[in-house]
Structure 1
Amino acid sequence: MRRVRHTVNGGPEVLFVEDVPAPDPGPGELLVRVEAIGVSLPGVRRVRSGSGPQPLGGEVAGVVTALGPGTIDAGFAPGDRVTGICFGHGYAEQALLRTALASRVPDGATAEDAVALVRSGLVARGALDAAGLGAGESVLVTGAASGVGQLAVPLAKLLGAGRVVAAAGSPAKAAFLRALGADEVISYGRESWGEPVDVVVDAVGGGLLPRLVAALAPGGRLVAYSSGGGTVQAHDLLAGGKSLIGFQMARLARTRAADYTAWRDELWALRAAGRLRPAIHARVPLAEAAEAHAIIERRENLGKVVLVP
């Protein structure tokens, strides 16, 4: 089978395709014939900043072809269509999924739908929950055209937000973001972002973080879910009784399994009802994974970038 790896850190140009034997599923694992792979900014950053070669993991979706020892009672069988997070080699024609992190893809949904909706949607849903979003409150979503952001915008509306502001790096994304349901669209370079908001869901971090805190109304909450870093002065939080909250998907899955399952089912139900539609920006062949990473690095995407083996 084919899989993509990288030789050293430094950029998308170090990605390469290699031919290797298919892996054998171990205890509690499923072997999946991969049909779609979600490309994310954290995955791209790992290639850029990693200390050396490492597996390229992430969201995968496909068909179960074999079960590892101890999976008989896990409720999966060969032929099942599943999706989940692969922490090993996910950029591959066949990948291993832990049963605890796998879930079925409903009838009528594609593998591309699955990698665009499930993990990104859970991050968006979990971040809004962490913010304690109340009915009628206002929300600012940064990285609004990203895989997570494009779902956070409509989800905020569905959860009762009175005003949703979408922030993006390019004015060219405005029409896309308004189509998602954003009431306002702003660019990061604008001097003023308008009226303060109650909640910020942030995918950017870094030097933008202080401006996002300043954009909060008194009592506002900023939820950071990216790996972009950044520093905030304690005084800037204390002065307005503001909060800065870190959100991590892996911790949610470990500590709030019931919410994880309920929100996943909710996302699929919203999609089935036509109320939530993940956008696919590009379908890129597996062998051209470097181009998929480049799209993310150039911040060109309107929605999810998907690799197709």
Structure 2
Amino acid sequence: MRRVRYESRGGPLFLEEVPLPEPGPGELLVRAEAIGVTLPVVRKVTEADEPVPLGGEIAGEVVAVGEGVSDFGTGDRVTGLCLGHGYADHALLHEAMTSPVPADASAVDAVALVRSGLVALGALEAARPEPGEAALVTAAASGVGHLALQLARTRGAGRVVGAVSDPAKAGFVRGLGADHVIMYGDTGWGTPVDYVLDAVGGELLTPALHALVPEGRLVAYSSGGGTIQAYDLLVGAKSVIGFQMARVARGKPEVYERWREELWRLFAAGELRPVVHGQFALEDAAKAHGEIEGRSNLGKVVLIPG
């Protein structure tokens, strides 16, 4: 089978031929039909000291199952998080990290919706939103951000603000339901909001905190790092809440499943619309990473192995 790999920090990415893996206990071997590209994986290629497997969300058809697998069989259409080599024709999924794909949804729908949607919904849950509150979503045109913006509206946000890096993204974000769109470099971010869902981190944490009303909440779920001055929290009695999807997936499987069901329900009802920015062949993985690195994507970037 074909698999994308790299040998040193920064790449380049290349295709190699490797044997088909065998599913171990609790694992499924899936013929991948769509593979989601995420910022954390892109950052691993550019920042990790040693090469790591390119994992992430995949969707496709189960072709073999390992010992102990009870909920899935060959021929099932599934999606899930691949912790190993996910940029490949075939990939291994752990049963606990796998869910079925509805008959009326495509593999591309699944990778655009489920993992990014789980992060978006989890960050929103961490903010403890109340009906009528104002929300601000950074990276609002990203694979996660464009879903977070829509989810805030479904949870009753009275005003939704999207923050983006480029004015060219403003129309896209407004089309998803944002009442206002701001640029990262704007002086002041307008009328304060009750909570911020931040996927950027770094230098953006300070203006995000300043955008909150007194007692407002900032949910940080970025891998971009950053620091906050304690005084900025004290002066307005504001809160910063860290959110990591992996902790929920490992420690609260019942919550993880409930969130997945909610995402598919909203999708079926037309209340949540995952947008795919581009579909790239497996051999064009470097181009797909370039879309993420250049912050040019509007929605999800997807690899199509076939």
Task: Tell me the TM-score normalized by structure 1.
Answer: 0.98
DSSP 3-state at the match of 1:244: strand
DSSP 3-state at the match of 2:191: coil
Q: Report what 1:190 is aligned to.
A: 186
Alignment of 1:75 with 2:75, yes or no, is no
CA RMSD of aligned residues (A): 0.7
CA displacement, residues 128-175 of structure 1 (integer Å, 9 cap, x when unaligned):
110111111111100000000010011000001110000000111111
Give 1:166's match in structure 2, choosing from 128, 142, 162.
162
Q: Distance in 2 between matches of 1:53 and 1:266?
A: 36
CA displacement, residues 4-62 of structure 1 (integer Å, 9 cap, x when unaligned):
0111112xx51110000110000100000000000000010010111122110000000
DSSP 3-state at the match of 1:14: coil
CA displacement, residues 188-209 of structure 1 (integer Å, 9 cap, x when unaligned):
1111210111100001000111
Q: Report what 1:234 is aligned to.
A: 230
Alignment of 1:50 with 2:53, yes or no, is no
Q: Report what 1:9 is aligned to.
A: 9
Q: Report what 2:132 is aligned to.
A: 136
CA displacement, residues 207-240 of structure 1 (integer Å, 9 cap, x when unaligned):
1111111111100000011100000011110111
CA displacement, residues 231-279 of structure 1 (integer Å, 9 cap, x when unaligned):
0011110111100111000101122222211111111011111111100
Alignment of 1:87 with 2:72, yes or no, is no
Return structure 1 stretches of 4+ with deviation > 4 angstroms: none
Alignment of 1:111 with 2:103, yes or no, is no
Q: Report what 1:25 is aligned to.
A: 23
Unaligned runs of 5+ in 2: none
Q: Distance in 1 between matches of 2:161 and 2:252?
A: 29
Q: Distance in 2 between matches of 1:200 and 1:274?
A: 25
Give 2:141's match in structure 1, choosing from 137, 145, 149.
145
Q: Distance in 2 between matches of 1:66 and 1:123?
A: 28
Q: Report what 2:271 is aligned to.
A: 275
Q: Distance in 1 between matches of 2:200 and 2:21?
A: 36
Percent of aligned pairs sharing the same letter: 63
What pairs with 1:202-221 in structure 2 (closer than 5 Å)? 202-221=198-217
Task: Tell me the TM-score normalized by structure 2.
Answer: 0.98
Q: Report what 1:100 is aligned to.
A: 96
What pairs with 1:286-301 in structure 2 (closer than 5 Å)? 286-301=282-297
Q: Distance in 2 between matches of 1:274 and 1:207?
A: 36
DSSP 3-state at the match of 2:163: strand
Give 1:301's aligned amino acid: N
DSSP 3-state at the match of 1:70: coil
Give 2:135's aligned amino acid: V
Give 2:47's aligned amino acid: S
Q: Distance in 2 between matches of 1:33 and 1:202?
A: 34
